[in-house]
C-alpha cells in the first residue's frame, strides 16, 4: 500500500540528500536554466524538504525561506548553515510568511501531495510581490499516465508514495483563476547528464525507455502589478 506523503518523507529524510535521483537532477538542471539570469533577491520554497532549491537560491545570493510539514526533512535542511534560521514548520498552503514579500515563490515535486491544488496556488500568489514569479514543477502527467510511480528505496524495501495526478489544463485554469499570468509551461526530458545518474544507481538499462517520455512538468507565472 502506498505511504502517505508525510509518512513517506519521514522515512526518506535520512537518505534524501545522498541517494542519486535522476528526476531531481533533471529538474534542477533544466528549470534553473529557465530562471536565468538570476534576479531574485527573496525566495520562498514551499514544501522545501531538505532545502535543495533553497541551497541553490542561497548560492545565488538570495535571501531564502522554506516551509515544510515534515520535521525530519526540515531537520536535514536546518543542518545546512545557510538555511538553519530560515525554516518554518507548517503546511505549504498555510505558510505564515508575509504577503507580497518574495520575488520568486516555488514548489517542487509536491503538487501531487495536495488534495486540492488551488489552496497551494492561491498561497503562492499571496506570497509573491507584484511582478514576481511563481513556479511549480512535478512529475510529468504523461509519465504518470504511462505508469510511472513516486517511489524511493530504503535499505530493505522500495516504497511508493500516494499522490493525486492533475492535468496541465486543470492547473492552468486554477492559476488563471488565482490571478496569475502564465509565462510558459515546460516538458523536460532526461538527457546525457541524467544518463550518468541512471548508471550510478545501477539502472542504466531503464534510461532509453525513460528518456522517451517527458519526465518533469514545470510552469512559470507572473503575478501582475497593480
Whether 137 contacts 184, CB under 8 Å: no
Residue spans of the domains in the chain: they are 5-222
Mean predicted lDDT score pLDDT of the chain: 95
pLDDT of residue 15: 94
Query: Which pLDDT belongs to residue 95?
Result: 82
Is pLDDT above 90 for 10? yes
Q: Tens of pLDDT along 75-129?
A: 999 999 889 888 999 988 888 899 999 999 999 999 999 999 999 999 999 999 9
Q: So what's the pLDDT on residue 207?
A: 97
Rounded mean pLDDT, 191-216? 96
**Model confidence at 141: pLDDT above 90:** yes
Closest CA to 51 of 31, 27, 81: 81
Q: Write out pLDDT tens, residues 157-200.
A: 999 999 999 999 999 999 999 999 999 999 999 999 999 999 99
| pLDDT reading at 139 higher than 90 | yes
Q: Are 60 and 51 in contact (CB under 8 A)?
A: no
Percent of the chain topping pLDDT 70: 100
Strand partners, 217: 138, 187
Which of residues 154 and 122 earns the better pLDDT score?
Answer: 122
pLDDT at 85: 81
**What Rg do the C-alpha atoms of the chain give, in angstroms?**
17
CATH 3.40.50.150 fits 5-222, yes or no: yes
User: What is the CB neighbour count within 10 angstroms for residue 182?
Assistant: 13
Q: Report which of 62, 79, 67 is spatially closest to residue 18, judged by C-alpha positions.
A: 79
Say which DSSP state 132 is in. Answer: E
Cα distance between residue 181 and residue 111, in whole Å: 19
**CA–CA–CA angle 38, 16, 207 (5° rounding):** 80
Rounded Cα gap, residues 14 and 8, in angstroms: 11
49: how many CB neighbours lie within 10 A of its CB? 25
Burial class (CB in 10 A: 0-12, 13-18, 19+), 85: exposed
Amino acid at each position: 500500500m502506498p505511504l502517505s506523503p508525510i509518512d513517506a518523507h519521514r522515512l526518506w529524510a535520512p537518505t534524501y540528500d545522498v541517494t542519486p535521483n535522476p528526476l531531481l537532477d533533471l529538474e534542477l538542471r533544466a528549470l534553473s536554466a529557465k530562471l536565468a539570469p538570476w534576479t531574485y533577491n527573496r525566495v520562498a520554497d514551499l514544501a522545501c524538504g531538505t532545502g535543495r532549491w533553497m541551497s541553490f537560491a542561497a548560492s545565488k545570493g538570495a535571501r531564502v525561506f522554506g516551509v515544510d510539514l515534515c520535521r525530519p526533512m526540515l531537520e536535514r535542511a536546518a543542518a545546512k548553515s545557510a538555511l538553519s534560521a530560515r525554516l518554518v514548520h507548517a503546511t505549504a498552503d498555510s505558510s505564515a510568511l508575509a504577503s507580497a514579500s518574495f520575488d520568486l515563490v516555488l514548489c517542487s515535486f509536491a503538487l501531487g501531495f495536495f488534495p486540492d491544488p488551488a489552496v497551494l496556488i492561491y498561497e503562492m500568489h499571496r506570497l509573491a510581490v507584484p511582478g514576481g514569479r511563481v513556479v511549480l514543477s512535478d512529475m510529468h502527467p504523461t509519465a504518470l499516465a504511462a505508469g510511472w510511480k513516486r517511489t524511493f528505496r530504503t535499505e530493505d524495501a522500495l516504497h511508493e508514495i500516494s499522490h493525486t495526478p492533475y492535468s496541465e489544463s486543470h492547473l492552468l485554469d486554477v492559476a488563471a483563476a488565482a490571478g496569475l499570468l502564465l509565462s510558459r509551461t515546460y516538458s523536460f526530458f532526461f538527457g546525457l547528464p541524467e544518463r550518468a545518474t541512471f548508471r550510478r544507481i545501477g539502472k542504466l538499462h531503464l534510461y532509453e525507455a525513460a528518456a522517451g517520455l517527458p519526465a518533469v512538468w514545470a510552469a512559470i507565472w507572473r503575478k501582475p502589478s497593480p
